[in-house]
Amino acid sequence: MRIEIVAVGTELLLGQIADTNSAWLGEHLAANGVASHFHQAVGDNHDRITLALRTALARSDGVIMCGGLGPTQDDITREAIADVMNVALVRDQAIVDVIAGFFEARGRTMTDNNARQADVPQGATLIPQVAGTAPGLICPVGNKVVYAVPGVPYEMSEMFERGILPDLRARMAASGEESGVIASRVLRTWGASESGLAESLQDRIDALDASGDVTLAFLASGIEGIKVRITARARTLEDVTALLDKEDAEVRRAIEDRLGDIVFGVDDESMEVAVATRLIARGLTFGVAESLTGGLIASRVVNVAGASSWFRGGVVAYDSQVKFDVLGVPTGPVVTESAAAAMAEGAARVTGADVGLGITGVAGPDDQEGVAPGTVFVGLHLPGLPPQTRELRVPGDRERVRQYGAISALDLLRRALDASST
C-alpha cells in the first residue's frame, strides 16, 4: 500500500517552521511496511490544496494530510477534502459540545469560530481528539482513503498510532497485502566524495537492483560527511534486521577495499562518539588545544553523554603568545606541523590527559605566515608513541574550513587510536 503525505501550511513554504511531521510519518509508515513514495507541502489555499490532494490520490492508495484543521479562516483542509469527495460538510453537534467542554475545563469560553472544527465531510469517520480540540478524519474516496490530522506534532503522532495505523492495517489485510517491515541503517563516512563512494559500491548496487529486497542511497551531509543508507523490506523485524546485517557487512567490505577505513559510525553515531568509544575501550583520557577551530572540537566532544569520564579539557590558544606561554610551543611560526605537534603535547600536559590533539591553520580569508587559507595542521600525542602530524587542505569559506577542520582532526584521532591498538 502506498501512502502519500501532504503537509498543509503556508508557514512551511516560507521556512518559518520545519516539516518534522512528514519525516516522522515517513519513518513510522516504513516501520509498518507501508511505502511512501511522495511527500508534498502546500500553502493555505483552497485550490492548491485540492490540486495537491487530487495529485496524491492519482498516484497513491491513500493520503495523510497534516494541518489545516484548526478554527481560523486559513484552516481549510476540511473544505478541500469535501470538495474532492464531492460531498457537503456537516457540523457534528456532539463534537461542538466536546470542544466547548475542553474550554470550560480550562475556565475559558469557546469562541464561535472553534465550532468549525466540528465540520465533517459526509461519509467520513472521526478520529476523536484526546489532546486538543480538532478531531482527525478518515475519508473514503472511492477505493482510496484520505486521513486528516492536526499539524501539532504530539496530536498528529497520537492520532496516527490510535486511528490511522489500525485502519491502514485493516485495509491492507482486506486487500490480501502481507504486512511487513521497512527499515533502514545508515553508515556514516568521512574522507570520500559521493561519487567515489558510489563508484566503490557500483557492483553492490547492480546486484541489489536485480534482487529488489534491499536498496542503497547516498546522502551528502556537509560537515558530517557522506552517509550510505541501506533500506530493506521483509515480513518481520527479525528478517529485515538479518537483511540489513548482511548488506552492512557487504557494503563495509566494498568500501574498505576501495577507499579504506572511512566508515566511522552507524545511524546517529557521530565522529565524536566514535572517538569516545575508542578512548573508553582503552581507558584513555583526552585533552585538546585549538587555534583555528576556536573550541569547536571541545564543543563537539562534550556533546557525548558521559564525556566527563574521559575528556579532561581544552585550551583555546588563538593568540600566538598563549601557544608559547601556556602550551610550550617553541617561539616562531605557529601555523606549522611542528607547532601542531607541540600543541598536542601541551594539551596532554596542561590537562593531565593521556591523549592530546592540537590543531592550527588558516581559516581565511587572507594568508597567514605565508600559508594559504584552508590549510590545516593537526598534531596528535598518544602515550608511548612519537608525535604524529598531518597537513590537510580544506575547501570552503571561513566557517566551513573551521568545521571541516574539527571533524577531520577527530577522524585522524579515530584512525590513530585504531592503529595504535593493533
CB 26 within 8 A of CB 34: no
CB 261 within 8 A of CB 267: no
C-alpha grid cell for residue 311?
575528556
CB 355 within 8 A of CB 279: yes
pLDDT less than 50: residues of the chain: none
C-alpha grid cell for residue 307?
564525556
Q: What angle do CA 245, 249, 254 make, to 5 degrees?
A: 145
Cis peptide bond upstream of 365, omega within 30 = yes
Q: What's the one-letter identity of residue 309?
A: S
DSSP one-letter code for 232? E
Tell me: the pLDDT tens digits for 222-250? 889 999 999 998 888 899 999 999 999 99
Sheet holding 311-316, edge to edge: 311-316, 286-290, 355-361, 375-381, 388-393
Is the Cα dihedral 288, 290, 293, 298 positive or negative? positive
**What three-state secondary structure class fits 329?**
coil
CB 53 within 8 A of CB 148: no
Tell me: the pLDDT tens digits for 278-316? 999 999 999 999 999 999 999 999 999 999 999 999 999
Helix (H) / strand (E) element for 311: namely strand 311-316
Is the Cα dihedral 253, 254, 260, 263 positive or negative? negative
Give me the pLDDT at residue 179, please: 67
- State the pTM of this model: 0.77
Query: Which residue, among 148, 183, 182, has the nearest Cα to 21 in the 3D structure?
Result: 148
Give me the pLDDT at residue 32, please: 84
**Cα 115 from chain centroid (whole Å):** 38
Dihedral (Cα; 21, 27, 28, 31), 10-degree rounding: 180
